[in-house]
Amino acid sequence: MKKIGSLLAICLVSQLTVSHLASAASYTVQPGDTVKKISNKYHTSQDRIVNLNKLFSTGLADGQRLEIPNPNKHSVKAGDTISKLSSKYGVSTSKMKRANPQIKDYHPGQKLNVGQNLNVPMKQTTGYYMGNTSKKQIALTFDDGPDNRYTPQILKILKEKGVKATFFVIGEQAKQHPEVLKQIHREGHVIGNHTWDHQNVPQLTDQELENDVQATSEEIEKVTGAKTHLFRPPMGEINDHQVSMLNKQGYRSIIWTADTKDWEGRPSEQIVSAVNKDAAPGVIALQHSYHASGKFETVKALPEIIDQLRAKGYKFVTVPTLIDDIDENEATLYTPGNGEDETGWRATVQKIRDIINDFKETINRLVKKE
């Protein structure tokens, strides 16, 4: 039995080591590399690379280090089990099972059908910097409003062009301009939470962030009658723990892949150029619908952005539309009330349990031999 105990210990350590290594694969960007080339090389998707590495742009720099995400699919081989694949790809068994609802009545150690294609979830939950890249779609987003100067002009252009966008609003701005917020909602655009007064999210305590997000969401719902499940941190700054916390409360944290930096007072030509430079399927473009003072040419640039991207074959969609396909494939959104903690100690304990169960059959066979 000592041999068996030693074998179990060795297997346990080796499986945990494999899990650690699976989440540590990295790649150094070479001259001529693009996100698409790298995704093809590693059989993963562009949005996974962008989101895992928190890239604010689709452009890469030579020598840049990237963490390589899991492939999108795994073709089952002889001996594969959910536990083994969870260890191989560095995800919990519960996340692996949720990503593959076609596997019914799964039990530990259960063998899978050889040749079966399984969805492989992301290693970790991150914010969304990029949406689904399988379709030629882009999401236009506007921050910091509403106001009664620029937001109505933007809404007029979007209506004339037949484009739906996503507005990440400031709570105090929503309170000051409820009629404009109602118009955004009435005209079919999506509304997201951008904190109450443009807070620096990493500097907030968990309770402060929760209170801020709640107050802003309540104001949005009071004015429009609709709940929001989108959150964008000001300046795109948020730590992983906060993303996870908001995920558990049902919020998806949205960043961007194309930054117009229109708030700097850039001329419209530079704003248009910035979007075109990073334009790619799945891109989330950042603009603003409020500006306190000084030069601001987003309104002037917007028609050109829409016309030029449409001429290239792009379709404009809201952020939920852009990322919903990812959520369906990843199954990473926390479901309130399910009692699971994908990143905490419960996940670690569950992983150990799954590894132990996966080796039970092997141990039993050794016992019989002895």
- Does the pLDDT of residue 130 top 90, yes or no? yes
**How high is the mean pLDDT of the chain?**
85
Contacting residues for 350 by C-beta, under 8 A, at least 6 apart: 92, 93, 94
What are the tens digits of pLDDT across the range 266-281?
999 999 999 999 999 9
Distance, CA of 109 to CA of 354 (rounded, Å): 8
- Does the pLDDT of residue 211 top 60, yes or no? yes
Name which residue leads in pLDDT, 198 or 124.
198
pTM: 0.79
Distance, CA of 217 to CA of 229 (rounded, Å): 9
- Does the pLDDT of residue 321 top 90, yes or no? yes
Encode burial over 306-320: b for 16+ CB neighbours within 10 A, e otherwise. Answer: beebeeeebebbbbb
What are the tens digits of pLDDT across the range 242-266?
999 999 999 999 999 999 999 999 9
CATH of 137-326, one of 3.20.20.370, 3.10.20.740, 3.20.20.70, 3.40.50.2300: 3.20.20.370
* pLDDT at res. 363: 60
Q: Where are the domains of the chain?
A: 2-124+340-369, 137-326
- Whether residue 143 lies in the annotated active site: yes
Length of the chain: 370
93 band by pLDDT with thresholds 50, 70 and 90: confident
The closest alpha carbon to 106, from 127, 139, 78, 83, belongs to: 83
Name which residue leads in pLDDT, 127 or 93.
127
The closest alpha carbon to 285, from 228, 232, 344, belongs to: 232
The stretches of the chain forming alpha helices (DSSP H) are 2-22, 35-41, 46-52, 82-89, 93-98, 150-161, 171-176, 178-186, 206-224, 240-248, 268-278, 298-311, 319-330, 345-369
- Whether residue 47 lies in the annotated active site: no
Which of 47, 74, 80, 143 is an active site residue? 143
- Please answer whether residues 183 and 200 qualify as being in contact, where contact means their C-beta atoms are separated by less than 8 angstroms: no
339 band by pLDDT with thresholds 50, 70 and 90: very low
Q: Give the lowest-confidence range in 188-197, 233-242, 296-305, 344-353.
A: 344-353
Which of 74, 177, 194, 288 is an active site residue? 288
CATH of 2-124+340-369, one of 3.90.1150.10, 1.10.1060.10, 3.40.50.300, 3.10.350.10: 3.10.350.10
The closest alpha carbon to 283, from 248, 316, 234, belongs to: 316
Structure tokens at 4: 């068996």
Structure tokens at 153: 């002009």
